[in-house]
Chains A and B, each alone.
Chain A
Amino acid sequence: MKNIISLILMLSIVISCNDNEYLDIDPSSLTPEDALNIAGAGDKMVVATYDELQKYRTMALPWIVLTTVLADNCEEGGKRLNTDINKINDIENISSSESLLNTLWAGHFFGISKANRAIALIPGITTLEQEEIDVLVGESKFLRALFYFRLVNLYGGVPLIDHIIDPSDTADKLLANTRVSKEEIYDFIIEDLTEAASVLPLKSERPSSELGRATKGAALGLLTKVNMYLASEQNSMVHWQNVMDLTDEIATMGYALNYDTFQYNNGPTVLSSISWLETAENNEESVFEVQARAITERDAIKSYANIQNSRGNYIGEPTQELYDLFESGDLRLLSSITKKGQRNWDASRIGNAKKNDLYNHKAFVSANTDLNTYEVHPESNKNVRILRYADILLMRAEAANELGQSGVALDILNNYIRDRAGLAPLPTSIISKEDIRLAIWKERRIELAFEHDRWFDIGRQGRKGEVMRANGKNFTDGIHDLMPIPLPQIQLSGFVLEQNPGY
């Protein structure tokens, strides 16, 4: 018996000796340490950051509602009443518990976090050449700047996160829950974009396999917009001059307006670039666009087009006021807006039974396979245009006007923007700085309709209240200029994160 017990004990000891080693299992998914040693890890982290731009939370319904529906170009529209969208459309009832606000906030910070991770880890990847590292980090900084630019214009100052933060670190925790000033965010964006521009290749230098990735032009284009916003808000000639200088530089990079039109059967004639046709993606006018192809359900910009177009849920109904603003003969009208009972560019007719009168045509996706670059899919292949050369030209025109070079401004308006739209030059009566400024603002509104520009544009022009009240909204200056910080985020911060005034 003694023998037996000692036998069992011995057995146990033999087994237990290597217990801890025995319980060490190699995980079957890549750990961060291993993942970084795999070829292409750097690129993958950057791709994952781009992927944020394809997410529903960042680019679809929340973004559409909080830019397009919120501004004066659209009312809520839609197949059926959505109280959340209704509240945002009405502005006065916007509350911080609105889930779309929270979704959008989270998406953007997830994007920033992915960029931070890429920026922090890529320089340590030994298999990469310094030049490759620079470009990848440059792209991440461009994307980080883009996320911050959108956040700061929507919410004002937000927490500034520039590294991978750890919830168990007190300093990081404070950082995550503390808003910095709008100016600090702007400085950060400018720094990121400047660095990105200094390392990113030109669009023409990018191999075609990288078409769609950020370029030097994209970084400078966004920087131009940042400068224009600062120039308007601070009435700063320095910044207007920056806009001139930056657009000078961009002008050398081979961008141009695209004049292609498209007409099919008895459908309307549209400008391919304005109508965001798939066939006009990444053309010479494209400075930066979110690439979309619905080949996998996961990677398409979830329902971006479907949310807005007449075949889908048609959320965001263009206002009659916008419709009427188009001059007669403006090719951009039918490229941008369709009416109930009329035809889309693929000649399909919008049924009379639909609830909207007007529809966003830029978001239209044809069910006719022959007219699309890729397969028809409920989730569209349509790229979302972030920055077109037309926008760059309009920014240049505005800067020129502000700097007293009205000739440059009128040249852009008449010989580029209006010319492409099939319109005659502006009446010669428009010569004063103020008149030209208003003419530019109007062209911006028409040219960039539904391209998520309007809400921020009237903001930097300092006339959100004026415009929105004219649009029939009960807009209160000093409150509704900024969206409320999402309540769930304030709760998660333990009420450390501060709310905007008035909410």
Chain B
Amino acid sequence: MKKILTLILLIPLTFFGQSNEVSGTITNEAEESIPFANVLIKDTSNGVTSDFDGNYKIRVSKGETLVFSFIGYHTQEITIADTNVIDITLISSKETLDEVVVVGYGTTKRKDLTGAISSVSSEEILEQPALSAMEAIQGRSAGVQIINDGEPGGSPVVRIRGTGTVQSGRDPIYVVDGIITDNLDNINSADIETIDVLKDASSLAIYGSRGANGVIIVTTKKAAVGKLKIQFSSYTGVTDVLKKVDMANAAQWQQYYFEVFGSDEDAFNDEFGGGPYGDYPLDSPNDTDWFDEITTMGSVINHNFSLSGGSEKVRSFVSANFYQEEGILKDNDYNRFTLRAKTDYEITDKLTFGHNISIALTNRDKKPTGAFQSAYRQLAIIPVRDPITNQYGTSGEYATVGNPVEAIETTNSAIKQFTISGSAYAQYNINNYISVRSNFGIQSSYLKSTKFDGERDLFDPNYGQGGAGDAKLTERRSDNTKWTFDLYATLKKTLGTNHNFNLVVGTTTDYRTGSYILGQINHVPEQEQYWSINNGESILRLEGLNSTDIIVRSYLSRLNYDFDHKYLLTLSGRRDGSSQFSDGNKWGNFYAIGAGWVVSEENFMSDVNFIDFLKFRGSWGQLGNQNVPLQILTFTNGLNYTQGPNQDIVYGSTITSILDPNLTWETTEEYDIGVEFELFKSRLSGAVDYYNKLNKDAALATKLPATFGSEESVISNLAQIRNEGYEVGLNWSDKVSKSFRYSIGANISFNENNLESLTSDTDVTQTGGLIPNGGILTKRLEVGQPLGSWYLHTVKGVDPITGLLQYEKADGTITTDVNTLEDEDKRYHGSSQPTKSFGVNLKLNYKDFELVVLGYGVTGGNIYNAKKQQRYNGENIELDVYNNRWTPTNTITSEPKPFTSIQPASTYYLEKSDFFRINNITLSYKLPKVFDNVNLIRVYATAKNPFIFTNYTGYNPELPGVNDENTGRLGKGDPMGTQGMEFQAYPSKKTFIVGLNVNF
């Protein structure tokens, strides 16, 4: 149709003389042809579009200017001289204002937005090789904090504009092609076209009670009309520890403890007793480096294949991916297969239909990360295996540490997950301005986790004393299914000449359910092929549950209005009903308003040449978080007893909790003021935002006196939590010459997190940051402090005379006697949440070479070196602790006199989390075109995380926290949990990769 039009338009041209025919091919930077690009003669309406292969032909007179343009690319102008062939390479531009941004139930152009949305392109995601796209985009957009987890298959913790709540869900939601999911771990990064991060109320209100933690919209790739494209990419690399902690060797360890117990060997032996474990006397020749014993060189492999193409009627995209990672902890592996098939049909002019199916299969061989902690604490004098008995060496009476090699070798944990997601949509364009779209998606995942614990001595390597036991098999199977159904209508109309309206009205329904079954049995043979429940005897645990279904029904609408793309207004609202809450608390309404003023469109700005685009915008709105614990009073099972001559189990259950009948979702109010600009011929672009987000009724557990008999805390909406901050993102890109281009981007986010107030007359003191074995608490929730604040004794150096740590009491006096310390002497010392995070990216293109450098850093957070505190008897110490320890001749130092026994939680263990890391250095080269059918061959080498700059003394300053599988405690991403505590964290790693891309 369009072709016919241009043909008609072209006819008059032939009547003009002096015109000659110019032809050429339009390609992108990857030398792929661009079909349907526009070629226009400047200041006329005459033009053509390129064909399937990017070829165009146009009659044009000498001296006229041709304008080449296509959505998503910088426009180029060429003045016609004598040449008849003009090949054009269009340069893509992510900041191009005509760029389409996905806003949830629709799209809009970036220039018309009133909200704060960061977008990350496919290209940027793929620059950083990683399992999950979220890991890859760390440091890419302001306001999006990503804490990576180094464990193979570990999912990063993502926070948008700070942590908004304590006990409810803190994670953003992910909307992948319209289907809400919990993370991107099972999505092939190469399938992703764009990631749009919705940050402010104006953008998020359309997600209502789902929006408070932010929404990350993922759009997967879609085939374009054109000839078949085949893309193959592959990389492989090796991984090593980025940062190691040096420990004392056997001789240094002995010297240290000689100094604890008096300086002679007898005193030392008296204390440790030699004992029944005295197999390793002090003159043992062992000098084990435990960290080396449990770690190895890791590796990563990724192969990706995709095929896309189609006609105007049917377009299809298919991809397959294999990713494999071997961790630096021995036998700690992960692999993932994914498949995706996506097809769009244009059935008639008005009706389009599409479906999208993806499958992911993951295998994860887990090893106890607690081994890092035991390796840190285990003594060099203990051998991995006793040379005579070949039994695992144990620390005996010297210390309370397991053998980390034993922990790794006897714990076998495998998690297999199968996820299938499918969605289908149909869109009917009723006329030019109204369309109706319906989207239905299902996602189901099945997880099987098998854990085999070999037979153990009395001394358990993971849990210390008391963990002895027979060989034990634990198998857990779970499934989760959800579906989403959307139906919405879009009305797009321009009234008069300049009043542009875009109205969306719709409804969506979301359903989720799940179940699990768990069995644990003793006496299963050691050989892996026998690891089935049937091969064991005496069941230890058998449990299972079908979780209570959750249904959310919502009505949504959004009106975008603009006058001449100059004055912008967005109104949005959503009404949500959730089955999770009690009657009377089920329904909630969420509204937002956003407005913008595109100053650069004003006439008075037409003379200001250096400003290409300038927009001020502001928004206010309410968002919800429905992810609060389910409120149904149930019988607690498992309160069993034994009776009868054989002491058989009898089953008991009763009610052990009290619920707050008024609990409902949390409501967050947020306002945002921002400015967006493009300056100097769009070479400099950027955005600055100020936001202020107040969660008005964060759910928080309150404790009741024990006399009420409620064993669990009662959760009520009580806390007010504010996140306030600035975001600045800047990008400079320039083309110096035809063969040299570069761009530099930087962004920085400032966030202040604060617990504003608590509305409760009962006690809501929340402590956290528990260090087990010793029951030490390091965190406390307090009004006026950020969430997860460290609540510690303050250490004021080491007393030069006694060599003891000097603690500051509440009255300001100094004491070295830990027995005089009271809880009241503790003070707040910030939290692990950084107050600033920043990212930089640099890209240089010279001819066919490209260099990319990405950096990321945070400042303003404090982290707790918890592993250092885990010392009860004669555990090993860091080499620095040893070297700098107080001695009668080394009195001015920060490390106290050698000590044993556990110390109170204090700032002695607190360190700054500040770091700056080069996340990526990639050098790539595009081979000249050697084969006819091959459009691109690109080879590259990447150094991932090659350098880190930090004063932190531990393994890794990036500490998302750990979910404790033994206790079921969810510490990951929990400000009151193990977030920010290096306890059994995975050390940071560096990876060196070589890769290849081939496009046909």
Question: Which of A's residues lie within 8 Å of B, judged by CB?
Answer: 1, 4-5, 8, 11-12, 15-16, 19-20, 22-32, 35, 43-51, 54, 80-81, 83, 97, 99, 105-106, 109-110, 112-114, 116-118, 159, 161, 164-167, 175-177, 208-213, 282, 291-293, 295-299, 303, 306, 311-313, 351-355, 373-375, 377-378, 381, 489, 491-494, 497
Contact = CB atoms under 8 A, between A and B. Distances in A.
B707 A491 contact: no
A117 B275 CA distance: 51
Given A177-B707, A209-B644, A378-B466, A27 B632 contact: yes
By secondary structure, the B interface counts as loop
A489 B705 CA distance: 6
Contact of B465 (A47, A97, A209, A312): A312
A106 B275 CA distance: 39
A23 B647 contact: no
Contacts of B579: 23-25
Contact of B641 (A32, A51, A106, A311): A51
Contacts of A213: 643
Interface string B689-722: 0000000000000011111111100100000000
Which among A166, A295, A377, A491 has the greatest number of chain B C-beta atoms within 10 A?
A295
Given A26-B548, A28-B546, A292-B647, 13 more contacts: A5-B489, A8-B436, A27-B548, A44-B652, A109-B706, A114-B654, A114-B656, A176-B707, A177-B707, A295-B642, A306-B466, A353-B273, A494-B763
Nearest to A172: B708
14 contacts: A8-B505, A22-B553, A26-B548, A43-B650, A44-B653, A48-B653, A51-B652, A113-B707, A114-B654, A177-B705, A212-B644, A291-B647, A493-B705, A494-B761
A25 B550 contact: yes
A255 B277 CA distance: 46
B98 interface: no
A54 B635 contact: no
A50 B652 contact: yes
B578 A46 contact: no
B634 A31 contact: yes
B640 A296 contact: yes
Given A353-B276, A374-B647, A12 B507 contact: yes
A30 B188 CA distance: 41
B430 interface: yes
Given A24-B579, A492-B762, A15 B507 contact: yes
Interface in B635-680: 635-636, 638-645, 647, 649-656, 658
Interface of B: 273-278, 397, 430-431, 434, 436, 458, 465-469, 487, 489, 505, 507, 509, 538, 540-541, 545-551, 553, 555, 577-579, 586, 632-636, 638-645, 647, 649-656, 658, 703-711, 714, 761-763, 765, 775, 819, 823, 872-873, 901
A106 B551 CA distance: 37
Contacts of A35: 634-635, 653
B466 A303 contact: yes
Contacts of A97: 823
B469 to A, nearest CB: 7
A166 B555 CA distance: 37
Contacts of A165: 707-709
Contact of B709 (A113, A292, A375): A113
A29 B548 contact: yes
Contacts of A5: 489
B640 A51 contact: yes
Contacts of A209: 643-645
B652 A47 contact: yes
Which among B507, B708, B711, B901 has the greatest number of chain A C-beta atoms within 10 A?
B708
A208 B644 contact: yes
A353 B703 contact: no
A1 B431 contact: yes
Contact of A28 (B465, B489, B509, B545): B545
A297 B654 CA distance: 19
Contacts of A497: 705
B643 A211 contact: yes
B762 A110 contact: no
A353 B465 contact: no
Contacts of A45: 652-654
A30 B634 contact: yes
Nearest to B634: A29
Contacts of B551: 22-23, 25
A47 B639 contact: yes
A50 B641 contact: yes
Contact of A295 (B278, B548, B649, B819): B649
Nearest to B661: A168
A291 B642 CA distance: 6
B546 to A, nearest CB: 5
Given A4-B436, A167-B708, A47 B651 contact: yes
Contacts of A295: 538, 540, 642, 647, 649
A35 to B, nearest CB: 4
Contact of B547 (A28, A50, A110): A28
A12 to B, nearest CB: 6
A112 B273 CA distance: 45
A159 B705 CA distance: 11
B548 A375 contact: no
A28 B705 contact: no
A287 to B, nearest CB: 16
Contacts of A491: 763, 765
B640 A110 contact: no
A58 B92 CA distance: 69
Given A167-B704, A211-B644, A112 B709 contact: yes
A296 B708 CA distance: 28
B647 A293 contact: yes
A112 B710 CA distance: 11
Nearest to A355: B273
A38 to B, nearest CB: 9
Nearest to A111: B709
B520 to A, nearest CB: 9
A494 B762 contact: yes
Which among B275, B546, B641, B658 has the greatest number of chain A C-beta atoms within 10 A?
B641
Contact of B632 (A29, A353, A493): A29
A4 B489 contact: yes
A51 B639 contact: yes
A80 B647 contact: no
A294 B545 CA distance: 24
A114 B901 CA distance: 39
Contact of A110 (B276, B711, B901): B711
Nearest to A177: B705
Given A30-B635, A291-B643, A296 B273 contact: no
Contacts of B707: 109, 112-113, 159, 161, 165, 175-177, 489
B809 to A, nearest CB: 16
Nearest to A496: B705
A116 B708 CA distance: 11
Contacts of B708: 113, 165, 167, 176
B545 A29 contact: yes
Nearest to B469: A378
Contact of B643 (A8, A48, A212): A212
Contacts of A109: 706-707, 709
Contacts of B761: 494
Nearest to A12: B507
Contacts of A105: 706
A4 to B, nearest CB: 5
Contacts of B469: 377-378
A492 B705 contact: yes
A15 B709 contact: no
A161 B645 CA distance: 34
Contacts of B538: 295, 375
Nearest to A375: B538
B647 A492 contact: no
Nearest to A494: B761
A4 B548 CA distance: 37
Contacts of A354: 273, 275
